[in-house]
Amino acid sequence: MSVKRDSLAVGVAVGAAGAAFGAVSVSDHFSILQTCILSLVLFSGASQFALVGIIGSGGSALGAIATGAFLGTRNGLYGIRMAALLQNRGWRKLVAAQITIDESTGMAIAQSDAATARTAFWYTGFGVYFFWNLFTLLGALGAKALGNAAAWGLDVASPAIFVAVLWPRLLKRSTKLAAVFAAVWALSLTSFLPVGTPILTTVIIAVIAGWK
């Protein structure tokens, strides 16, 4: 069935980026065990990259936790929609929650009927989970062997992935404005606030922009 094949293809493609995470995390001085636990338990790409980036650049623990958590709010909103679709109870709800991410939700809502949507959710979710964790381990082991991260371009892997993830979301003029304003805002506070704090204050821009 093609929805299963498509879902697994998404799993492989997205999961491969786990190699970049594994490498970046290790070059930001996280151990291989910590790196793998982030992919197994946190399992949310943007939160993971943000967290290791902030700690790696000398940011505060609180700044890293709060930014990682804020970036995870999106998954909570996906959960509301997916719970209505999946109608799970008990432990199945726990498993579904863990694999509620951009890709599983995106593949589910792209289907025309509920049964196919449920198949897309589970196959994409488990597919991404399996390959993301496999590639995280490979990337982490690889980075240990590579040495200097900057010499291999690893220090731009995370912001480049953010560029690729953010760009398709900037369709409207209001979201473009918010993105540019947030970047300028964060940079202009860099010299005045502790490392990792300026990024957190951009949430104020989201509240103001969305309030209307």
Partner 1 sequence: MSSTWIVVIATSAAAFGLKYLGHLIPARYLETPRFERITNYIPIVLLSGLIAMQTFTDKTKLVIDHRAAGIAVAFVGVIAKLPFPLVIIGAMATSAIVYR
Helix axes 114-146, 102-109, angle to 10 degrees: 150
Q: Using CB under 8 A, which of the segments 113-121, 125-133, 135-143, 197-205 binds partner 1?
A: 197-205
Question: Residues 6 or more apart from 113 whose CB is under 8 A from it?
Answer: none
How many C-beta atoms lie closer than 10 Å to residue 161's C-beta?
A: 17
Does position 133 interact with partner 1 (CB under 8 A)? The reply is no
- Interface of this chain with partner 1, residues 25 to 54, rule: CB under 8 A: 29-30, 34, 37-38, 41-44, 46-47, 49-51, 53
Does position 121 interact with partner 1 (CB under 8 A)? The reply is no
Rounded to a whole number of angstroms, the minimum distance from the CB of residue 5 to partner 1 is: 19
Task: Please answer whether residues 135 and 15 qualify as being in contact, where contact means their C-beta atoms are separated by less than 8 angstroms.
Answer: yes
- Residue 1 or 183: the one with the smaller Cβ distance to partner 1 is 183
Does position 68 interact with partner 1 (CB under 8 A)? The reply is yes
Number of H helices, E strands in the chain: 12, 0
Does position 82 interact with partner 1 (CB under 8 A)? The reply is yes
